[in-house]
Amino acid sequence: MARGFAALLFSFLLSPALAPAASGLPPLEEGGPPVRGRVALIIDDLGKGLAEGRAVVALPAPVACAFLPHATYTPELARAAHGAGKEVMLHLPMQTVEPRPLDPGALRLDMTRSQFLAVLAQDMARVPHLAGINNHMGSLLTRHPGHMAWLMGAIKARGDLFFVDSRTTRHTVALRIAREQGVPSIKRDVFLDDDRDPAEIERQFERLL
């Protein structure tokens, strides 16, 4: 994740748009009407850069931090994120439709079930204080029900993890399989920095809100 995006996110989290009292609106009171919407921010691709990771950990909001399993600084930054009250996730590499290089620890379509589960176990073991998993890439793998069933079965067996479908393809079946197997799960709705132009990121924030 780029340092510039961390800075932009920091500014967004401190903006008046997220502070009702400062924007002239009355603050929410205990016992008042329920809030109709809820936003969960996940910052992923973490673990490769120490400075960038520390900037995310220092953000003034309970964002979730998703770490690539075999990135150099993943264990250190995951412990720091947990200590700062952030939710820690595994950003799980998966095979794409495009023939592009995969990150270490990637799950692939040509794996047997035993190979698949062994790699998954190694990936999870690399991320301390693990609370959930989302997919990194995976436009090929997430459309295959059998492989998603292996994944969700392992998550279900652990009993303490949730899954977020990053929706890197409209053909994904990951969320459906997760729910069929009783895994706490949700899908990604807005991709904030698919286009790294700051103006476009701001437009995505507006769409999110």
pLDDT along the chain (209 residues), means of 10: 45 41 39 64 94 95 94 98 97 96 97 99 98 97 98 97 95 98 91 67 69
Tokens of 95: 């095979």
Element containing residue 185 per DSSP (H, E): strand 185-187
Task: Specify the pLDDT at position 193.
Answer: 61
Fold for the domain defined by 3-11+38-208 = TIM Barrel (3.20.20)
Task: Specify the pLDDT at position 203.
Answer: 75
Task: Specify the pLDDT at position 41.
Answer: 87
**DSSP assignment of 105-168:** T-B-TT--HHHHHHHHHHHHHTSTTEEEEEEEE-TTGGG-HHHHHHHHHHHHHH-S-EEEE--S
Task: Specify the pLDDT at position 53.
Answer: 97
